[in-house]
Amino acid sequence: MKDDLEHRAEVAVPDTSRRKFIRAAGATGVAGIFSRGLAPISAHGSAMEAAQFVLPKATKEVTPFKVHVPQAALDDLKEKLANARWPDKETVTDWSQGVPLAKAQALVEYWRTRYDWRLVESTLNGLPQFRTQIDGLGIYFIHVRSKHENALPILLTHGWPGSILEFMQVIEPLVDPTAHGGKADEAFHVVIPSLPGFGFSDKPAEPGWRLSRIANAWAVLMARLGYSHYVAQGGDWGAGVTSWMARQRPSGLAAIHLNLPVLFPPPPPPPGGYTAEEQLTLAELGKYASDAMGYASIQGTRPQTLGYGLADSPVGQAMWIYEKFQAWSDNKGDPAEAISVDRMLDDITLYWLTDTAASSARLYYESFAKDFARMPLELPVAVSIFKGDFFTPPKVWGDETYSKLFYWNEVPKGGHFAALEQPELFVAELRKSFAQIR
């Protein structure tokens, strides 16, 4: 029953013919602009309708997909950036209260005047992209087959605030090693999905899309693509999904690789106390919990409330992500030392255009508190620790958690966004580790 407030607000009612239109658009494989008359539910009289980006409905078919963001959406973004309203400046001289105002304004100025979304859109459209419905949800993925028939299929899963864009520079070296300093027997077939609620995957409309469900869906995806022998890789949430796949042991999954392994010391503490190396990592965890976990706390408890500001302010959405590029990448203070501004804006713009602030935060609501516990695994596990990441566990924790830890390497350069920051090193890690699995 509507309360007094809702009666006065006159929220618009959905148009039932919209669904049929979307299915038709979906069959042609093109997502794009919809006329005002078919716009989704929004506040009465919203001018946003024409600029919204809507996905075609997915089916159990694997349907080719291309990205065509309406120009109106790009124009709207620029206009919002031009009308940005700023908070006052931080009262410190570093990043300890968050993104400094001068850095924020500089990023927005670049985004508004020099950044070109159409470049990365064109890059994406040069790759084989698809959508398919799994467990009721449309899943977007890139699928590039190697010309080498015996290539090892690999599933790469991103995290937050990342995306499939983190892997753009590693696809070709993985798929076509001989053109990139490698050998034919190091080739991979590459599958790169967007997590539910991220990028061009659907946003779940029901609760329950936690890590175990995503892992299940990924196994269905690989089976649907005809792969009966494959490996999976991930960092951040991708490490969570990949670890759950290893735990579920779907038919075909031979081994996994993690660049941010979900590792904690097994209880209880050893009789002699923790080693110096372990204490360093415990300090990293302590610091994360006390100083760097605010974003996860709010995303894990109130993703919808947080989502309003981030969905409505591209500046807000950008800084919410940019802060992590600075905090988690391997840099000496400036994130641009580790990741180019254009690459950061590719990722940020993807979140903005797909309006995935709330839906991506919902993954924390589903899984952050529950599904990141220490997980002993029997499946073969490879680990690459990129030393610039914010969490660098010691090998002894890996030995104690993974009964078949077949590869452990500490990479001196690169951080949380390993593939994006150090594509060559990342590729080398996958070639080296999975050489043992082919």
- Applying the rule CB under 8 A, the residues between 108 and 137 that interact with other proteins are 108-109
> Does the footprint of other proteins cover residue 315 (CB under 8 A)?
yes
Using CB under 8 A, pick the residue from 25, 29, 38, 46 that binds other proteins. Answer: 46
> Does the footprint of other proteins cover residue 423 (CB under 8 A)?
no
Give yes or no for a cis peptide into 393 (omega within 30° of 0): no
Least distance (Å) from other proteins to the CB of residue 393?
A: 23
Using CB under 8 A, pick the residue from 57, 131, 189, 203 that binds other proteins. Answer: 203
Structure tokens at 89: 């400046």
Pairing of strands 253-258, 137-144: unpaired
- Residues β-bridged to residue 382: 257, 407
> Does the footprint of other proteins cover residue 344 (CB under 8 A)?
no
The smaller minimum CB distance to other proteins, of residues 253 and 350, is found at 350
Interacting stretch for other proteins, rule CB under 8 A, among 45-53, 152-160, 238-246, 426-434?
A: 45-53
Using CB under 8 A, pick the residue from 39, 54, 69, 99 that binds other proteins. Answer: 99
Residues 73-92 vs other proteins: string with x where CB under 8 A?
---------xxxxxxxxxxx
Taking Cα atoms as reference points, which of 385, 370, 431 lies closest to residue 177? 431
> Does the footprint of other proteins cover residue 204 (CB under 8 A)?
yes
Least distance (Å) from other proteins to the CB of residue 406?
A: 38
> Does the footprint of other proteins cover residue 72 (CB under 8 A)?
no
Least distance (Å) from other proteins to the CB of residue 186?
A: 41
Q: How many other C-beta atoms are found inside a 10 Å radius of the C-beta of residue 263?
A: 24
Using CB under 8 A, pick the residue from 306, 339, 344, 350 that binds other proteins. Answer: 306
Q: How many residues bind other proteins (CB under 8 A)?
A: 75
Least distance (Å) from other proteins to the CB of residue 357?
A: 6
Task: Output b/e per residue, 160-179; b: 16+ Cβ within 10 A.
Answer: bbbbbbbbbbbbbbbbbbee
> Does the footprint of other proteins cover residue 148 (CB under 8 A)?
no
Name residues contacting other proteins, limited to 173-202 (CB under 8 A).
none
Name residues contacting other proteins, limited to 363-392 (CB under 8 A).
365
Using CB under 8 A, pick the residue from 156, 255, 260, 310 that binds other proteins. Answer: 310
Q: How many other C-beta atoms are found inside a 10 Å radius of the C-beta of residue 64?
A: 12
Least distance (Å) from other proteins to the CB of residue 104?
A: 6
Torsion of CA 10, 15, 16, 18, to 10 degrees: -150
The smaller minimum CB distance to other proteins, of residues 34 and 227, is found at 34
Helix (H), strand (E) at residue 23? helix 17-27
* Rounded Cα distance, 385 and 378, in Å: 20
The smaller minimum CB distance to other proteins, of residues 8 and 273, is found at 8
Using CB under 8 A, pick the residue from 16, 35, 44, 251 that binds other proteins. Answer: 44
Interacting stretch for other proteins, rule CB under 8 A, among 7-15, 142-150, 236-244, 398-406?
A: 7-15
The smaller minimum CB distance to other proteins, of residues 108 and 245, is found at 108
For 17, phi and psi rounded to 5 degrees? Answer: -75, -15
Give yes or no for a cis peptide into 161 (omega within 30° of 0): yes
* Rounded Cα distance, 408 and 98, in Å: 34
> Does the footprint of other proteins cover residue 17 (CB under 8 A)?
no
Interacting stretch for other proteins, rule CB under 8 A, among 119-127, 135-143, 343-351, 355-363?
A: 355-363
* Rounded Cα distance, 227 and 277, in Å: 40
Q: What share of the chain is helix, strand, coil (3-state, %, to 5)?
A: 45, 15, 40
Maximum alpha-carbon separation in the chain: 70
- Residues β-bridged to residue 258: 234, 383
Give Cα 39 to chain centroid, integer Å: 27
The smaller minimum CB distance to other proteins, of residues 11 and 435, is found at 11
**Residue 46: DSSP 8-state:** -
Name residues contacting other proteins, limited to 274-293 (CB under 8 A).
291-293
> Does the footprint of other proteins cover residue 3 (CB under 8 A)?
yes
> Does the footprint of other proteins cover residue 341 (CB under 8 A)?
no
Interacting stretch for other proteins, rule CB under 8 A, among 174-182, 244-252, 352-360, 381-389?
A: 352-360
* Rounded Cα distance, 210 and 193, in Å: 16
* Rounded Cα distance, 233 and 153, in Å: 11
> Does the footprint of other proteins cover residue 5 (CB under 8 A)?
yes
> Does the footprint of other proteins cover residue 308 (CB under 8 A)?
yes
Using CB under 8 A, pick the residue from 159, 162, 316, 398 that binds other proteins. Answer: 316
Instruction: Count Cα atoms within 13 angstroms, Cβ side, for 288.
Output: 14
* Rounded Cα distance, 240 and 363, in Å: 11
